[in-house]
Structure 1
Amino acid sequence: MSLELKFDPRTIEHLGVKMYSTLPPALAELISNAYDADSPGVAVEFIELNKTPKSIVIKDEGDGMSLSDIQNKFLVIGRNRRNDDGDKPSNKFKRMPTGKKGLGKLALFGLANEIIVDTAKDGLRNRFKLNWADLLSSDSVYSPIIEIQDQQTPRTNGTTIKLSDLKRKSPFDLNSLADSLSKIFSVDPSFSITLKKGTDIVRVDGERRYKDIDQQFQWTEKDLVKEDSPYHGKISLKFVTAKTPIPPSAGLRGITIYSRGKLVNAPEYFSESTSSHFFQYLTGSINADFIDLLNEDVISTNRQSINWDQPDMADFREYLGELISETARDWRNKRAKKKEEEINTATGINTEHWMSTLPTDVKGPVQSILAHMTKNEDISESLNPIVNALYNIVPEYPLLHWRHLHLSIKDGVYDLYKNSQYGFAADQATKMYAARIREIAKIDEDGTRLADVFNLPNNKPPTIAINDLSTSSLKNMQEGQSHLTRGLMQGFRNPINHAPMDRVVPEIISELDCLNILSLVSYLVGKLDYAEEKLKEKADS
């Protein structure tokens, strides 16, 4: 029996050489063939002589091919295996086929001028050779050279393809190839990909694509795909954001779509606007096997893009845009929270609590300053004193702080004030003032009668003097202390203490009222310091 490959040579040249002129996508097609052949893995060996590429050997342990398979399947360009063999799981690993268009075999001619296929199936071995120059010079029908035909063999099923007289002239870089292949295939634990050159061996897996990414946050379908979504249970995903912007040269910015374990759409954002710096940090993948089940073939021949004009895919793209937007919002929240935690650790300041104590008109500018200072990825130690200085200028409950109250008053009302009990805080301050008057004057009075201790009766010394009364101005201040004290008690203390607090306090005493009263009380209490000092001097003498 002779073998024949029927074709238009221009088809081979355009679809083979031009579409698979670079190594990673061409190898990916040969690796996919091993996957579809139900092999547990594939080994690709690169052979060089003096750093010059000589050959590539691709070996699998899959189903192998009979002579009939070679003629009616492998050598038929454009054969749709799913139509011919059915779109069903493989026998051993229950894999759904990735091949569909029957063009992947043309990758052979994109890499080499001479190809030898050696395959065994059910105890019979076949080997044949393809030559690129002979193929191009033939007229629509090309007969590969059969070297072994239906030879009995103890070999187990599998296929080995050797590519010689390579078109590539530069040395092979295993790690670079492994990185590229890791972006083409998603993870399948039942299938291993091994690259070998000399004594160097590199294994390819889906996680490899993120090896150079310093990951910060991650999302899966459990985080983003809602139960009422039409795509719930139909897709799985992994979105990752890096701590620092992903270099454009990495080829990882954006989300890659896979179907049946293989790339069908190169990384992108599914958004009309990509100006946000969020997109510099985003990478990830979506597994959407349902794409292969659509009646219409929406996957491009080179498996780099999807036909997004197709109605089902247009809906899917819109949904993906929403997922990306939701991820961006969550990323900003997570990132801000992370920055807060870093500041908290570095400075000992609870930023969240600090912000919660600031009035709205103060909080906005402070947050803006912090955001500007912490816009870099890492919180620098040199930033700590700056944040602490800002905290000292704008501390928790700044309106209370900025009043510069007498320390005894500030400490005495602090808990009430921070719990928004403004009426009680102001009342507590007046009680503290009254108690101090009684303590200094040694009296048992309350209310407006407390003001009498500051009176100047017939030029006699007052019970409590707030200065030395040596001038008329100082005497006026002494009388003012009496009047202000009487006004405080008459205009605030008495109404508050003789009315239901649950009605008067919320309706009458606002935060501003409270602060104003505290300032007045603080002023009056400060004047008592003079009297206490004099009493202490008298006691010491």
Structure 2
Amino acid sequence: MSDYEMKFDPHTIEHLGVKMYSTLPPALAELISNAYDADSGNVTLDFWEVGSNKFISIKDDGTGMSATDIQQRFLVIGRNRRRHDGDKPTPRFGRYATGKKGLGKLALFGLAKEITIDTVKDGKRNRFILDWNELLDADGVYNPKVELSDEPTDASNGTTIKLSKLKRQSPFDLEAIANSLSKIFIVDDNFNINLKDQHGHVVSVNNARRYSGFEQQFEWDVDSLVKDDSPYKNKLKGTLYTSRTPIRPNSGLRGISLFSRGKLVNNPEFFSNSTSSHFFQYLTGWISVDFIDNLDDDVISTNRQSIDWDNEEMALLREYLSTIINQVNNDWRNKRKEKKEKELEVTTGIDTNQWMSTMPEDIRQQASKIIDFLGEEDALEKYSPVIEALHTLVPEYPLLHWRYLNDKIKDRIKVFYTNKQYGMAADQGTKIYCEVIREITGLSLDGTELVNLVFSPKEPVIKLCDTSNKTGMSIQSGQRSLSQGVIESFRNPAAHMPLDKLVPERYSELDCLNVLSLISYLFERMDGAEIIKEKEAE
């Protein structure tokens, strides 16, 4: 039977093993990574609680280890497998190793005081035990207890690691462990991670679990965000999501996680110095940056929680990721606005785009502030009556001039007004005024000649009131003067004005409404007037 030998400084094991991997998910993640790198298709973690004793076993169906592998690879702390074995794909699944520094195995000692490793490779079985207390007492060289050495077996290749005498005493929460592990791995179709308790209940670790803790609203494919001429084209992939409501701060989901070779290399963040915008409360997702594993410099921290952003190439990557996040921020705001407008229209029946387009700029700005505040998705149902009340107070074309125009002209000039042909709208209003006068009097005159005749104070055709007294005469005379003023000061000049002078830039909305308001006033004065039939003047 061979004697295995581990050479080390005991303090190395204590600092890197216990301190770095003192919590369950990161330590288990290292053991799962070992199974992944061993070309395993399945890894199962069994959790046992027998009385006060707790055990964890991690079983994979990977390549396993020979006695030589154990001595020259597994028991060598800090061995860089890529430098020694080459960075090449595995034969079964074509994977590139996630491990690099040779320190992940120390996660074993962060969890348990006794570790049994049972492994099969090419028909030979090896089993040995690592004891924490004996290891600490060793003086630079530790010999694990060997139970089986190159024992012939018919068992399939694979490795089982049993963790006994666990340092933690709290009960196992498989759902919580699976949730944490799902944030560490991107699980592909040929690598299954399952957690199982002593009652046979199985919990799977998968990508869907990672983002199951929030209500997704929008998503973006990272590759589609990278322009074709970018140096990062085909180097970045992943998916970004925004939630319908703010993501809980303690959920571990706020921000974008970076992965390389299927494993976390940078905890969620936003790659921006300014994160005050409420957009960042809604953003999550992941991006694979596999190319960083091929750089000359090792830019991934030992605990795989962060990237060395001081590295020149990583600083450029961070700057580019910031531009992608800004792009998503702008798109998110547009998508939310469109969605909110559709929901608001369904709830209230108000087309906000159409409504806003009819408002003058100063009114539109103020109304938009109110709608944006009240129309947030989580407040939409509660405040929709307020928006409906606002629509009543500030309807389409909200200027009072327009709202109270006489019906005799409002409907007939609406097409010009809504198309912002303000000069044409006012011009048509004066023409309609004369047209209505001709219709009710039967006269064929036009312009000032028409109004001078029909509103004559002494012999009126349209008699507005009793003209036998000074007040009545003033009213009748005033109608004639105002009508004549509209025609002489606007209608006649407009009739001879080139069409390009009647565009909105030359003739404002307020100009138009002022003319139409006066015509509307003149129409109102004619309501109930007495029509006196008389021959046309020669």
Secondary structure of 1:469's aligned partner: coil
Structure 1: which 5+ runs fail to align?
536-541
Residue 475 (structure 1) shift: 1.4
Q: State how far apart, in whole Å, the 2-side matches of 1:507 and 1:451 are.
A: 31
**Counterpart in 2 of 1:389?**
389
Residue 127 (structure 1) shift: 0.9
Q: Is the Cα contact below 8 Å between 1:46 and 1:53 reproduced in 2?
A: no
Secondary structure of 2:462's aligned partner: coil
Residue 506 (structure 1) shift: 6.0
Q: State how far apart, in whole Å, the 2-side matches of 1:506 and 1:328 are.
A: 36
Secondary structure of 2:183's aligned partner: helix
Q: Is the Cα contact below 8 Å between 1:126 and 1:151 reproduced in 2?
A: yes
1:227 paired with 2:225, answer no
Q: Partner amino acid for 1:26?
A: A
**Counterpart in 1 of 2:429?**
429
Q: State how far apart, in whole Å, the 1-side matches of 2:500 and 2:309 are.
A: 64
Q: State how far apart, in whole Å, the 1-side matches of 2:267 and 2:215 are.
A: 21
1:301-325 Cα offsets, whole Å, 9 max, x none, are: 1111111111111111121222222
TM-score, normalisation: structure 2: 0.95
**Counterpart in 2 of 1:337?**
338
Q: Partner amino acid for 1:93?
A: F
Q: Is the Cα contact below 8 Å between 2:401 and 2:513 reproduced in 1?
A: no
Q: Is the Cα contact below 8 Å between 1:215 and 1:243 reproduced in 2?
A: yes
Residue 499 (structure 1) shift: 4.4
Q: State how far apart, in whole Å, the 2-side matches of 1:507 and 1:233 are.
A: 50
Residue 261 (structure 1) shift: 0.4
Q: State how far apart, in whole Å, the 1-side matches of 2:89 and 2:174 are.
A: 32
Secondary structure of 2:257's aligned partner: strand
Aligned length: 530
Q: Is the Cα contact below 8 Å between 1:216 and 1:242 reproduced in 2?
A: yes
1:481 paired with 2:479, answer yes
Summarize the alignment of residues 367-382 of structure 1 with structure 2, pairs less than 5 Å apart: 367-375=368-376, 377-382=377-382
Comparing 301-310 with 333-342, greater Cα deviation is found at 333-342
Residue 151 (structure 1) shift: 1.3
**Counterpart in 1 of 2:46?**
45
**Counterpart in 2 of 1:180?**
180
**Counterpart in 2 of 1:539?**
none
Comparing 505-514 with 12-21, greater Cα deviation is found at 505-514
Q: State how far apart, in whole Å, the 2-side matches of 1:286 and 1:161 are.
A: 31
Q: 1:503 to 1:277 in 2, by over 3 A?
A: closer
Q: State how far apart, in whole Å, the 1-side matches of 2:432 and 2:211 are.
A: 64
**Counterpart in 2 of 1:20?**
21
Q: 1:55 to 1:222 in 2, by over 3 A?
A: same
Q: Partner amino acid for 1:528?
A: M
**Counterpart in 1 of 2:217?**
216
Q: Partner amino acid for 1:129?
A: I
Q: Is the Cα contact below 8 Å between 2:41 and 2:62 reproduced in 1?
A: yes
Q: State how far apart, in whole Å, the 1-side matches of 2:506 and 2:329 are.
A: 45
Q: 1:479 to 1:387 in 2, by over 3 A?
A: same
Q: 1:252 to 1:499 in 2, by over 3 A?
A: closer
Q: Partner amino acid for 2:128?
A: F
Residue 402 (structure 1) shift: 4.9
**Counterpart in 1 of 2:511?**
513
Q: Post-superposition, which runs of at least 4 consecutive aligned residues in structure 1 deviate over 4 A?
A: 400-403, 503-508
Work out the percentage of aligned pairs sharing the same amino acid: 57
Q: State how far apart, in whole Å, the 2-side matches of 1:391 and 1:6 are.
A: 79
**Counterpart in 1 of 2:287?**
286
Q: State how far apart, in whole Å, the 2-side matches of 1:514 and 1:402 are.
A: 10
Q: State how far apart, in whole Å, the 2-side matches of 1:456 and 1:268 are.
A: 82
Residue 339 (structure 1) shift: 2.0
Q: Partner amino acid for 1:320?
A: L
Q: Partner amino acid for 2:381?
A: E
Residue 529 (structure 1) shift: 1.1
Comparing 476-485 with 27-36, greater Cα deviation is found at 476-485
Q: Is the Cα contact below 8 Å between 1:455 and 1:482 reproduced in 2?
A: yes
Comparing 469-478 with 311-320, greater Cα deviation is found at 469-478
1:43-65 Cα offsets, whole Å, 9 max, x none, are: 00000124x45211100000011
**Counterpart in 1 of 2:536?**
none
Q: Is the Cα contact below 8 Å between 1:403 and 1:519 reproduced in 2?
A: no
**Counterpart in 1 of 2:126?**
126
Q: 1:14 to 1:417 in 2, by over 3 A?
A: same
Q: State how far apart, in whole Å, the 2-side matches of 1:359 and 1:455 are.
A: 37
**Counterpart in 2 of 1:530?**
528
Q: Partner amino acid for 1:171?
A: P
Structure 2: which 5+ runs fail to align?
533-538
Residue 335 (structure 1) shift: 2.0
Q: State how far apart, in whole Å, the 1-side matches of 2:289 and 2:506 are.
A: 63
Q: State how far apart, in whole Å, the 2-side matches of 1:166 and 1:84 are.
A: 33
Q: Is the Cα contact below 8 Å between 1:41 and 1:61 reproduced in 2?
A: yes
**Counterpart in 1 of 2:466?**
468
**Counterpart in 1 of 2:297?**
296
Residue 412 (structure 1) shift: 1.4
Q: RMSD of the TM alignment (CA)?
A: 1.8
Q: 1:53 to 1:344 in 2, by over 3 A?
A: farther
Q: Partner amino acid for 1:527?
A: R
Q: State how far apart, in whole Å, the 2-side matches of 1:93 and 1:224 are.
A: 29
Secondary structure of 1:304's aligned partner: coil
Q: Partner amino acid for 2:465?
A: N
Q: Partner amino acid for 1:243?
A: R
Residue 453 (structure 1) shift: 3.6
1:139-193 Cα offsets, whole Å, 9 max, x none, are: 1111111111111111111111111111111110000000000000013121110
Q: Is the Cα contact below 8 Å between 2:80 and 2:102 reproduced in 1?
A: yes
Comparing 427-436 with 14-23, greater Cα deviation is found at 427-436
1:96-154 Cα offsets, whole Å, 9 max, x none, are: 10000011111111111111111111111111111111111111111111111111111
**Counterpart in 2 of 1:91?**
91
Q: Partner amino acid for 1:518?
A: L
Residue 520 (structure 1) shift: 1.3
Q: Is the Cα contact below 8 Å between 1:55 and 1:163 reproduced in 2?
A: yes
Secondary structure of 1:130's aligned partner: strand
Q: State how far apart, in whole Å, the 2-side matches of 1:262 and 1:343 are.
A: 42
**Counterpart in 2 of 1:398?**
398
Summarize the alignment of residues 309-320 of structure 1 with structure 2, pairs less than 5 Å apart: 309-320=310-321
Secondary structure of 1:98's aligned partner: coil
Comparing 331-340 with 278-287, greater Cα deviation is found at 331-340
Q: Is the Cα contact below 8 Å between 2:130 and 2:144 reproduced in 1?
A: yes
TM-score, normalisation: structure 1: 0.94
Q: Partner amino acid for 1:65?
A: M
Q: Is the Cα contact below 8 Å between 2:10 and 2:135 reproduced in 1?
A: yes
Q: 1:508 to 1:128 in 2, by over 3 A?
A: closer
Residue 370 (structure 1) shift: 1.4
Q: State how far apart, in whole Å, the 1-side matches of 2:220 and 2:45 are.
A: 34
Secondary structure of 1:203's aligned partner: strand
Q: Partner amino acid for 1:113?
A: K
**Counterpart in 2 of 1:112?**
112
Q: Partner amino acid for 1:517?
A: V
Q: 1:64 to 1:382 in 2, by over 3 A?
A: closer
Summarize the alignment of residues 229-244 of structure 1 with structure 2, pairs less than 5 Å apart: 229-244=230-245
**Counterpart in 2 of 1:163?**
163
Q: State how far apart, in whole Å, the 2-side matches of 1:455 and 1:295 are.
A: 96
Secondary structure of 1:398's aligned partner: coil
Q: Partner amino acid for 2:38?
A: A
**Counterpart in 2 of 1:145?**
145
Q: State how far apart, in whole Å, the 2-side matches of 1:257 and 1:395 are.
A: 49
Q: Partner amino acid for 2:464?
A: I
Residue 399 (structure 1) shift: 2.8
Q: 1:394 to 1:53 in 2, by over 3 A?
A: farther
Q: Partner amino acid for 2:482?
A: L
Q: Partner amino acid for 1:237?
A: G
Comparing 221-230 with 115-124, greater Cα deviation is found at 221-230
Q: State how far apart, in whole Å, the 2-side matches of 1:175 and 1:93 are.
A: 28
Q: State how far apart, in whole Å, the 2-side matches of 1:223 and 1:471 are.
A: 82
Residue 439 (structure 1) shift: 1.5
Secondary structure of 1:530's aligned partner: coil
Q: 1:207 to 1:38 in 2, by over 3 A?
A: same
Q: Partner amino acid for 2:231?
A: P
Secondary structure of 2:188's aligned partner: coil
Summarize the alignment of residues 244-259 of structure 1 with structure 2, pairs less than 5 Å apart: 244-259=245-260
